[in-house]
Amino acid sequence: MADIFVAPKHITVPNDSEDMHAFSSFCQNPKGVRFQTQKSHETIILFLRSHFITNVSWIALSFILIALPIIILIFLPNFGIDFLSSETLIRFTTIYVLFYYLMVFSYVFISFLHWFYNVFIVTSERVVDIDYSDIVVHNIAITNLVQIEDVHYTQSGFIPTLFNYGDLFAQTAGEMENFEALSIPKPREATHIIGDLIGKGPSAG
C-alpha cells in the first residue's frame, strides 16, 4: 500500500504549507506527507480525499447494526421468545452475536479504509490518483501535469452545495486514462489550483 503519511527528510516544505491531521480532506502544501514514488525534488501542492460528511451514511448504518441485536434481545421476551431460557440457547445466541458483530466491525473497518486511502494528490510535476478497493487491492494511476488538457468540476444537489463538495475531473491527452476525485471539499478551489499548474510540469519521460 502506498506510504503517503510519512514526512520526507529531503523535501523542503513551502512557507505557506498547512498542518495536516489524519482526517484532512483538503490540504494545500501539506506538511509531513509523501507518497511511495515521490521524487526528491518533487513537492506536494494539493492533497484531496472525499469530504468527511460522505461517511455519515455508513456510520449511521453501523450504529443501527450495532444496536439491532440488543434491541431484539430486549423486545423478543415480550412475544414469548427468550433466547436466554436455557444453556444451549445462551451458547447459540452468544456465538451468533459474536459472529454478527465481527461482520459489522469488518464492514466499519473496510468502509473507513475505503475513505481514508482513496486519495488524490497533485504535486509540482504530476497527478497521483490512489484508489483503494479493499485490504489487498489498490490501484495507483499517475500522469504528468503536461499531459492534462482540461480540468473541471461538478457540484449538484442540496447536500453537496451546503457542505461545499463535488467531483473533480482531469482530462488527459489521447487515449490515456482520465483522472477523477469524487466528493472532494472545495472543488472550485481545487480546480483553479490544478488549472494554474497545467503546462508547468516537466515533459513526459
Average pLDDT (173-192) is 88
DSSP run (H or E) holding 108: helix 87-117
Better pLDDT: 3 or 81: 81
Q: Residue for cell digits 473507513?
A: 112
For residue 82, what pLDDT band results from cuts at 50, 70 and 90? low
For residue 9, what pLDDT band results from cuts at 50, 70 and 90? very low
Q: What was the pLDDT predicted at 16? A: 59
Better pLDDT: 69 or 85: 69
Cell triple for 106: 469488518
The whole-model pTM stands at 0.79
Is 60 exceeded by the pLDDT of residue 161?
yes
Contacts of 200 (CB under 8 A, 6+ apart): 124, 145
